[in-house]
Chains A and B, each alone.
Chain A
Amino acid sequence: MTVDRLMIEAVAAHPLFRDLPAAEQRAIAECTGETVFEDGAMLMRQGDQAEHFYLILYGMVALELHVPGRAPLVVETLGKDEVVGWSWLVPPYDAQFDARAVGMVRVLAIDAACLREKMARDHTLGFVFYQRFLPVIADRLHAARVQLMDIYSHPADYAEAPSAGKKRGKGKR
């Protein structure tokens, strides 16, 4: 299989794959292309098959959740070097969010079926890939939980002792 020299370099340069053995970098590069999305373009759509996942080289991608009758809600934005999408790893491989370009976005697009097939054949590739992908997922899950905590809310919204006594603001700031 022939693969673009520049694509191998692009994969090898990404923080996620930087320290992989050359063979694995090459295998991933064989499934990778580079793509540009214009402002507002969709990288993936909620409910569709996740045919690709993306590594952002430039620009910002918004993950949106759609609720009928409401404006699309951006739950998270992703920037340079970040991973867009892991539904392609989880059967039945349906995308769970809309991913939309905010401004022009340049990405490495990895063909999900191609990589899945290689990982199924080469468990070493599968292992090193999961080894790098899982911390990304854990980190994002952690961030999502902190985001859920609504830590900047007005204290009265989440008072530990409901306003049974006197309410006094004694904190600095």
Chain B
Amino acid sequence: MQADGSNPARVIFKEGLQVLLDRLKAAGYQVIGPTVREGAIVYRPIDTVAALPAGIVDEQAPGRYRLGEIRVGEQRPLFAHVVGPDSWKRWLHPPQQLMWRAERKKRGIVFVSASAGGQPPRALLGVRACEIAAMRIQDRVLAEGEWPDAGYRERRKGVFIVAVNCGRAGGSCFCASMGMGPEVTEGFDLALTEQVDAESHRFVVTAGSPSGQRFLDVLPGQPASEEALRRAREQTAKTAAHMGREMPADAGSVLRASLDHPHWEAVAGRCLHCGNCTMVCPTCFCTSMEERTALDGKGTERWRQWDSCFNASFSYLHGGPIRNSGAARYRQWLTHKLAHWEAQFGTAGCSGCGRCVTWCPVGIDITEEVRALGTPQETMRHDGG
């Protein structure tokens, strides 16, 4: 609500969304949004609203992800899906990155920075509350410490975020119990709430930043009524009440007290140590460095790529890996995410997006694992756990 009593929020339609895309592109942004590739929704550069997953819904459960169709009357919603295997991490903290080049010269080695420059600023369309939370978590790690990552900071700074309030919760979602969603409350430029019924398909749009407001003010549509805003809030509240899972509130203290719990062995027996959970996780930030040398031996490049604490080589110290069992590696992942992250960065390391639950090939559900670890050890033994 503005000082004069008018409401800056607007209601727009699909055409209005296309205008937003066009205006963002005209302002120099590369627009990245959800689109269907190989049976999954991923985040890729898009030009038109037509690239969005119209009428597509994802069915998710531990170890299960399927796309299906959804219609409301004749309308095909654009954001009925929740989150897929991809995350915005791909665009802010890319899977592979050239850090610098070096050449051997007469006067020693010459290092040349591979700056993050030269890339357009990006507008991210369809960002969910849990994903904004994940970016804030990565900000703490990569941009706000004593030694910030220059490339990340550069990319993050220029980002324009068009968020979406989730109209439904997925089968693996638990952002509500993490306090990270589903309502978009901060860290965005524009936020959409999609409202679809048999008669109309519209978006209630609010601005979260002055720059977002400037875009919003010129979108074709109409001012949002109090009624439209109330319905949008109700819809998101309903999503919050229908989360697929729930993380126990005391997860951090449970894990800190369970470092020697026998249940780690039980999880490790199911875990394939494939590292899928760390690849799909929007907050996992671990990387390894790699040397790529030119064949003539004169030039070399230093590359950084995503790594996973599930790889045995991750903790390799001369002689062998420190975490030499699957149980130790699983424990590292879960305790880092839900307990130790707090001590390291002053925030939980999990946004409750549920990707690790869906994309685990054997369907390990971290909310269930935390519950099992919270069970007194005596009981575990009686149960044969």
Query: Which residues on A sit within 8 Å (CB–CB) of B321?
Result: 160-161
Contact code string B305-342 (vs A, CB < 8 Å = 1, else 0): 00000001100111111001000000000000000000
Q: Cα distance A164–B319 when bound, in Å?
A: 11
* Closest chain B residue, CB of each to CB of A167: B318
Closest Cβ–Cβ distance, residue A173 to chain B (whole Å): 9
Query: Which residues on B sit within 8 Å (CB–CB) of A168?
Result: 313, 316, 318
Q: Cα distance A168–B311 when bound, in Å?
A: 15
CB-based contact B316/A155 at 8 Å: no
* Closest chain A residue, CB of each to CB of B324: A160
Report if A152 contacts B (CB, 8 A). Answer: no
Q: Cα distance A158–B318 when bound, in Å?
A: 10
* Closest chain B residue, CB of each to CB of A161: B320
Closest Cβ–Cβ distance, residue A21 to chain B (whole Å): 44
Q: Cα distance A57–B239 when bound, in Å?
A: 80
Closest Cβ–Cβ distance, residue B312 to chain A (whole Å): 8
Query: Which residues on B sit within 8 Å (CB–CB) of A155?
Result: 318-319
CB-based contact B316/A160 at 8 Å: no
Q: Cα distance A54–B318 when bound, in Å?
A: 43
CB-based contact B318/A160 at 8 Å: no
Q: Cα distance A44–B199 when bound, in Å?
A: 105
CB-based contact A165/B319 at 8 Å: no
Closest Cβ–Cβ distance, residue A92 to chain B (whole Å): 44
Contact code string B107-149 (vs A, CB < 8 Å = 1, else 0): 0000000000000000000000000000000000000000000
CB-based contact A158/B319 at 8 Å: yes
Most buried by A among B312, B313, B324: B313
What band does the interface of chain B fall in when counting residues whose beta carbon is under 8 Å from A? Answer: under 10
Q: Cα distance A159–B312 when bound, in Å?
A: 14
Query: Which residues on B sit within 8 Å (CB–CB) of A91?
Result: none
CB-based contact A160/B313 at 8 Å: no
Q: Cα distance A162–B124 when bound, in Å?
A: 47
CB-based contact B324/A165 at 8 Å: no
Q: Cα distance A159–B317 when bound, in Å?
A: 10
Query: Which residues on A sit within 8 Å (CB–CB) of B316?
Result: 168, 170
Closest Cβ–Cβ distance, residue B289 to chain A (whole Å): 10
Contact code string B266-296 (vs A, CB < 8 Å = 1, else 0): 0000000000000000000000000000000
Q: Cα distance A164–B277 when bound, in Å?
A: 26
| B-facing residues in A63-77 (Cβ within 8 Å) | none
CB-based contact B317/A170 at 8 Å: yes
Q: Cα distance A166–B312 when bound, in Å?
A: 12
Q: Cα distance A112–B319 when bound, in Å?
A: 48
Report if A135 contacts B (CB, 8 A). Answer: no
Q: Cα distance A171–B317 when bound, in Å?
A: 5
Query: Which residues on B sit within 8 Å (CB–CB) of A166?
Result: 313
* Closest chain B residue, CB of each to CB of A173: B318
CB-based contact B313/A159 at 8 Å: no
Q: Cα distance A165–B320 when bound, in Å?
A: 10
Query: Which residues on B sit within 8 Å (CB–CB) of A159?
Result: 319-320
* Closest chain A residue, CB of each to CB of B318: A155
Query: Which residues on A sit within 8 Å (CB–CB) of B324?
Result: 160-161
CB-based contact A171/B318 at 8 Å: yes
| B-facing residues in A135-173 (Cβ within 8 Å) | 155-156, 158-161, 165-166, 168-171
Q: Cα distance A158–B317 when bound, in Å?
A: 13
CB-based contact B318/A169 at 8 Å: yes
Contact code string A8-29 (vs B, CB < 8 Å = 1, else 0): 0000000000000000000000
Query: Which residues on B sit within 8 Å (CB–CB) of A170?
Result: 316-318
Closest Cβ–Cβ distance, residue B202 to chain A (whole Å): 56
Query: Which residues on A sit within 8 Å (CB–CB) of B313?
Result: 165-166, 168
- Complex A-B, nearest 3 residue pairs according to Cβ-Cβ distance, in ascending order: A160-B320, A155-B319, A155-B318
Extra A-B contacts (15), CB below 8 Å, given A155-B318, A168-B318, A171-B318 = A155-B319, A158-B319, A159-B319, A160-B319, A160-B321, A161-B312, A161-B320, A161-B321, A161-B324, A165-B313, A166-B313, A168-B313, A168-B316, A170-B317, A171-B317
Q: Tell me the B residues contacting A by CB distance below 8 Å.
A: 312-313, 316-321, 324
Residue contacts A-B, CB under 8 angstroms, 14 given:
A155-B318, A156-B319, A159-B319, A160-B319, A160-B321, A160-B324, A161-B312, A161-B321, A161-B324, A165-B313, A166-B313, A168-B313, A168-B318, A170-B318
